[in-house]
């Protein structure tokens, strides 16, 4: 069970969401509370976060600079205090893409699939059998 909300926790929540621009998920990790509870409390105390913002020339220029600096989409979203989906959409709209080795989201690429040991052993046995059999 979580301790009840109080003025100190509300102030901490306001600081994390408004001043630092963290997402509910990030704030939940800091405050050790579920993200859903963070969102509910934010609404209850009147914190309106990440309202829709139009993209103007200044915002686009800043996004291009952050992209050129090599930041991930998550870091750009934090720096610009915008939802990550908005950042990703605008990167796509501006045709700003990175090579396959540098995803815009701070995720690692999926590992390459390896054959199962049984399949590898069977393949090796077939190759050896083909090499040993006379060619016609």
Q: Is the Cα dihedral 73, 74, 80, 85 positive or negative? A: positive
Distance of alpha carbon 42 from alpha carbon 49, whole angstroms? 8
Q: Domain boundaries in the chain?
A: 7-44, 53-108
Distance of alpha carbon 107 from alpha carbon 22, whole angstroms? 18
Distance of alpha carbon 81 from alpha carbon 95, whole angstroms? 21
Which residue has better confidence, 115 or 105? 115
Tokens (6 digits) for 16: 């994390």
Helices 57-68 and 73-80: crossing angle, nearest 10°? 140
Q: What angle do CA 102, 105, 108 make, to 5 degrees?
A: 60
User: 77 falls in which pLDDT band (50, 70, 90)?
Assistant: confident
Ranges 20-29, 57-66, 106-115: which has the least confidence: 106-115
pTM of the model: 0.43
């Amino acid at each position: 069970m979580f301790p009840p909300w109080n003025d100190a926790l509300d102030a901490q929540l306001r600081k994390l969401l408004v001043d630092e621009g963290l997402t509910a998920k990030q704030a939940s990790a800091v405050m050790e509370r579920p993200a859903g509870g963070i969102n509910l409390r934010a609404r209850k105390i009147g914190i309106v976060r990440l309202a829709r913002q139009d993209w103007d020339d200044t915002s686009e220029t800043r996004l291009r600079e952050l992209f050129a600096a090599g930041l991930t989409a998550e870091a750009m979203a934090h720096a610009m205090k915008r939802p990550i989906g908005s950042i990703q959409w605008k990167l796509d709209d501006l045709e700003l893409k990175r090579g396959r080795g540098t995803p815009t989201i701070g995720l690692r690429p999926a590992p390459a699939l390896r054959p199962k040991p049984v399949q590898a052993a069977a393949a090796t046995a077939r190759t050896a059998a083909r090499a040993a059999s006379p060619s016609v």
